[in-house]
Chains A and B, each alone.
Chain A
Amino acid sequence: MTDVADAFKHGKAFIPFVTAGDPDLETTKKLVEAMVAAGADLIELGIPFSDPIAEGPVIQAADVRALSNHVTLDEIFAMVKTIELPRPVPLVMMTYVNPVFVYGAEKFTKKAKECGICGLIVPDEPYEEKAELQPACRKAGLKLVSMIAPTSGGRIRMIAGEAEGFVYCVSSLGVTGVRTSFSNNLPDVVTAIKQATKIPVAVGFGVSTPEQARAIAKFADGVIVGSAIVKLVAAHGRDSVPYVSDYVKSMKDAVRSED
């Protein structure tokens, strides 16, 4: 059985994100398979949401494209079941808390597990509200990934101390989207997390170039990229697979160089 931790067993991890159903589920399936073939160590599959408050314009637009085709959770689960990976790589879902809550936390996590998902990332469920989904995740055998931000300060120990799978460290203030620079205290935040937990730390939000990925991989265990990939999907639609595949290859090479 694949586990979230497996992503970090082969050196520095590269973690790409795509939005399920953008532009359609068939393309999402091909993208996931191709990204793994290109060297991705963990796949973050975004559940489209009507009001994604942690996302910048690029992923917001992807959610709109997916939802304009009326993609449903059941259809996403069914698609995930059909994914054929060239090698075992953990899949996690990035979703806002409401789709899980309304679908039913137990039902959602059980179905997710059944179709091969091994963790959830829920940006609007902070430490204080973990009880909303954690019992269901535990029961189903899913890891609930904790997020830590540049503003977390004294909360880092508390959050990291209970974190499971890996810690998702947010690179900067603000929402997702390509950036040219990150929070000045990012290396310090990662160091503080590492002092509080033994589990790996991956950094996301705003990363797009191999140079940025390489710089982050010097002090973190993994690099997460969303908007840069979603931009390629936006530009090339159903024909985006080779573009995304080349991009993932280049990013994986960049983080690998820091092993």
Chain B
Amino acid sequence: MTNPEGRFGIYGGQYVTETLMNALIELEAAYKKYKNDPQFVAELNDLYKNYAGRPSLLYYAANMTEDLGGAKIYLKREDLNHTGAHKINNVLGQCLLAKRMGKTRVIAETGAGQHGVATATVAALMGLKCEIFMGEKDMERQALNVYRMKLLGADVRCVKSGTGTLKDAVNETMREWTNRIADTHYVLGSVMGPHPFPTLVRDFQSVIGKEVRQQMMAKEGRLPDYLIACVGGGSNAIGLFYDFVKDEQVKLIGCEAAGEGVDTPRTAATIATGTVGIFHGMKSYFCQNKDGQIAPVYSISAGLDYPGIGPEHALLHDIGRAQYVPITDEEAVNAFEYLSRKEGIIPAIESAHAVAYAMKLAPTLPKDKIVVVNLSGRGDKDVAAIARYRGVDLHD
């Protein structure tokens, strides 16, 4: 019967084809074997430090704090990691595990391209063959990252089915994994999919929150009051939240992509507009119709343009431990520009959703409160799309 370790309350599970079951069981066994293996841990920590550049900085955003006039704002600078986002934390862990399992090839889905770039990067480092699946529409939106992945030696496969976005890229990567399991590991990019992925990805990302705790204690001598992160599948958010879940006084806030608004069909806000379903191997919340057909969601952010959310977030929402708020395209773009001008930091459009909520929240709080925003990625990849949003045509 269902593996209790793969459940977060009623959520999670392993709803995949029989062809994949032994691969998941093998992955879970390998992960259990190596996660506390001193040599594996030492190797991963060395890669975090000397390859990815960890620990990432916890930066006090003085200008932003002063301008907003409320709580102190700190930015967790995951954008400063090698490859420019938090995605590398998970990819290093999974590729190291894949090597231990004797796999010679990795495949991955990507939305914004950050996870694809991270996977292509680590595959190059570790000498693994690499294929990245990316939606047709996302390849247009993130052309720079497509070229970057090719430069790193990965094959980029264009996914034309469905809406040509992240959801379809996941479908196609799962199909490819079913086709070729023996030598291939699927480097799933978020805290989603079938068990053990939500747990494994969370554990590899939880380095974010562990560092924040240490850094905050060093700087302020106490825990923060609010942790804010953007949520698509939810890996950077769970990475930030996880170490603080037991600290009830620390409020956890996930920012979903509302697209053009939660009252329009052009949205990807899963908690705000979705219902419980079973898809991509997991039970969780999904944007879908009454017949269980998955909705074609929309967000300006290719990385948040996903109709589901990781199962652990579904549980944190149900039990009220975390709060999930929708942020529109317009709010995110404003935050993108605001942080660029105020702090000289261009955030990923995904992370700008978290910045946008901090901009709403901080002014309502007293000055002795502390807010940490996860700056999950850098925004270089988004510059052309934001220019387009503002009606500026860039020719380069």
Residues of A with Cβ closer than 8 Å to B? 49-51, 53-54, 56, 60, 67, 72-73, 96-103, 123-132, 147-153, 155, 159, 170, 173-175
Mark interface residues in B1-33 (1 if CB within 8 Å of A CB, else 0): 111000000000111111111110000000000
A-B contact count (CB 8 A): 122
Are A151 and B278 touching (Cβ within 8 A)?
Answer: no
Are A129 and B14 touching (Cβ within 8 A)?
Answer: yes
Which residues of chain A have C-beta atoms less than 8 A from B280's C-beta? 51, 53
Are A53 and B174 touching (Cβ within 8 A)?
Answer: yes
Q: Does B180 contact A (CB under 8 A)?
A: yes
Q: Does B292 contact A (CB under 8 A)?
A: yes
Which residues of chain B have C-beta atoms less than 8 A from A124's C-beta? 15-17, 278, 281
A selection of 8 A-B contacts at a CB cut-off of 8 Å is A54-B17, A60-B161, A101-B292, A128-B2, A131-B2, A148-B18, A152-B22, A155-B22
CA distance A124 to B18 in the complex (A): 8
Are B175 and A102 touching (Cβ within 8 A)?
Answer: no
CA distance A60 to B181 in the complex (A): 22
Are A129 and B288 touching (Cβ within 8 A)?
Answer: no
8 smallest beta-carbon distances between A and B, as pairs: A102-B292, A174-B179, A99-B292, A149-B19, A98-B292, A50-B293, A50-B294, A149-B18
Which residues of chain B have C-beta atoms less than 8 A from A170's C-beta? 17-19
Name B291's contact: one of A102, A129, A149, A150 (CB within 8 Å).
A102
Name A126's contact: one of B16, B179, B291 (CB within 8 Å).
B16
Q: Which of B267-325 contact A (CB under 8 A)?
A: 275, 277-281, 283, 286, 288, 290-294
Which residues of chain B have C-beta atoms less than 8 A from A50's C-beta? 162, 293-294
B269 to chain A, nearest CB (A): 18
Which residues of chain A have C-beta atoms less than 8 A from B178's C-beta? 54, 173-175
Q: Does B171 contact A (CB under 8 A)?
A: yes
Which residues of chain B have C-beta atoms less than 8 A from A72's C-beta? 291
Q: Which residue of B lies closest to A48 (CB)?
A: B293
Name B288's contact: one of A56, A60, A102 (CB within 8 Å).
A102
Are B22 and A67 touching (Cβ within 8 A)?
Answer: no
Which residues of chain B have C-beta atoms less than 8 A from A129's C-beta? 2, 13-15
CA distance A101 to B277 in the complex (A): 7
Name the residue in A49, A149, A152 with the highest tally of chain B Cβ atoms < 10 Å from its Cβ.
Answer: A149
Are B1 and A98 touching (Cβ within 8 A)?
Answer: no
CA distance A148 to B17 in the complex (A): 9
Are A101 and B1 touching (Cβ within 8 A)?
Answer: no
Which residues of chain A have C-beta atoms less than 8 A from B22's C-beta? 151-153, 155
CA distance A233 to B1 in the complex (A): 39
Which residues of chain A have C-beta atoms less than 8 A from B3's C-beta? 128
Are B293 and A127 touching (Cβ within 8 A)?
Answer: no
CA distance A147 to B161 in the complex (A): 26
Known: A147-B17, A151-B19, A151-B181. A99 touches B1 (CB 8 A): no
A161 to chain B, nearest CB (A): 14
Are B175 and A99 touching (Cβ within 8 A)?
Answer: no
Are B21 and A51 touching (Cβ within 8 A)?
Answer: no
Q: Does B167 contact A (CB under 8 A)?
A: yes
Known: A151-B181, A174-B175. A97 touches B167 (CB 8 A): no
Which residues of chain A have C-beta atoms less than 8 A from B17's C-beta? 53-54, 123-124, 126, 147, 149, 170
